[in-house]
Chain A
Amino acid sequence: MLLTLLAAAGLALLRVRNLFAVVMLAGIYSLLSAGLFTVMDAVDVAFTEAAVGAGISTVLFLGALALCGHQENKPGHTPLLPLFVVLVTGGLLVWGTMDMPGFGDPANPVHHHVADHYIDESYHEIEIPNVVTSVLASYRGYDTMGETTVVFAAAVGVMILLAGRLGRRPRPEGKGDGG
């Protein structure tokens, strides 16, 4: 199953210390997750993840590596404390999922609060067959505008941070409005 492959990619990310390999593995990880989103019926999310996660962010990482060098040092301290923190947090999260309803059950409460309304009525109200698009662009239009503001602010931040060198070598940034 795809999830198991994803777990393997995650572990490889942890072990490898050449950062170029890490970035490539992160791209593979993104692409695998896009496949997983397709399997779970989230086609819009899948193509956004494939374009943004596997495409643009890989380009950004490679750009940063070109400027920063690509070999990671061996971690100096013992990993016991982080490992402990991670295990405790993971244990708590797994404990938390015990109360969650099973995967894919149509009777889950999450599917019966407002989702029915969007599925039943959005075509009469908006006349767009893709429910995700009509919610994103119409019902939650203000939120999407706020999101583009965030992307704009990030682009401005990157430009300010790199202002000194930007004249010589422009970087691609803030192009991620695939949604």
Chain B
Amino acid sequence: MSLDLLVSHYNYWVVIFLMMVGFYILISRGNLIKKVVGLNVFQTSVFMLYISMGKVNGGTPPILIYGETDVLYSNPLPHVLILTAIVVGIATTSVGLALAVRIKEAYGTIEEDEINAIEARTEATG
């Protein structure tokens, strides 16, 4: 029983592990670019979770084969959703990186703790 569970849920668990690695990078690292990388890892693992759900054992990619009626296709709907998500993901990544570049210009650093220190100093003096 538990071996069955391991085999049938292995995909989900590795995906969750990757998701948590991305989440950990996101909340524990101070460098803004590293944070964006963590966000990307998280995002890709969500894609893998969805695609895992769409897979059918013994299925083929959902491109219809002309003249054949007895073909088992994988589920195309998660694929469509994830295509949209990938494109939106690159859009958010580019905005995040542009923000990091602007912060670098304004503060001279992209480390979170140094930015906080500069902020505290300007509040104390100004």
Chain A residues with CB under 8 Å of chain B are: 3-4, 6-7, 10-11, 13-14, 19, 22-23, 26, 29-30, 33, 36-37, 40-45, 48-49, 52-53, 56-57, 60-61, 63-65, 67-69, 72-73, 75-76, 79, 82-83, 85-87, 89-90, 93-94, 97-98, 100, 102-106, 108, 110-111, 114-115, 118-119, 122-123, 129-132, 135-136, 140, 143-144, 147, 150-151, 153-155, 157-158, 161-162, 164-165, 171, 173-174, 176-179
Contacts and interface: CB of A to CB of B under 8 A. Distances in A.
B76 A90 contact: no
B41 A131 contact: no
A78 B7 CA distance: 36
A115 B76 contact: yes
Interface string B76-95: 11111011101111111111
Interface residues of B, number: 87
Binding site secondary structure of chain A: helix
Contacts of B119: none
Listed from nearest, the 10 A-B pairs whose CB atoms lie closest are A102-B8, A154-B91, A176-B90, A104-B57, A179-B83, A41-B74, A82-B28, A64-B97, A131-B76, A10-B21
Contacts of B94: 60, 154-155, 158, 173-174, 176
Contact of A119 (B40, B73, B80): B73
A178 B113 contact: no
A114 B77 CA distance: 9
Contacts of A155: 91, 94
B83 A132 contact: yes
10 contacts: A29-B41, A53-B86, A87-B20, A115-B76, A118-B76, A132-B63, A132-B76, A132-B79, A162-B98, A173-B94
Interface of B: 4-5, 7-25, 27-34, 36-38, 40-41, 44, 47-48, 51-66, 72-80, 82-84, 86-95, 97-102, 104-105, 110-111, 113-114
Nearest to A64: B97
A41 B77 CA distance: 12
Given A86-B23, A154-B92, A73 B31 contact: yes
A45 B79 contact: yes
A60 B97 contact: yes
Contacts of A108: 53
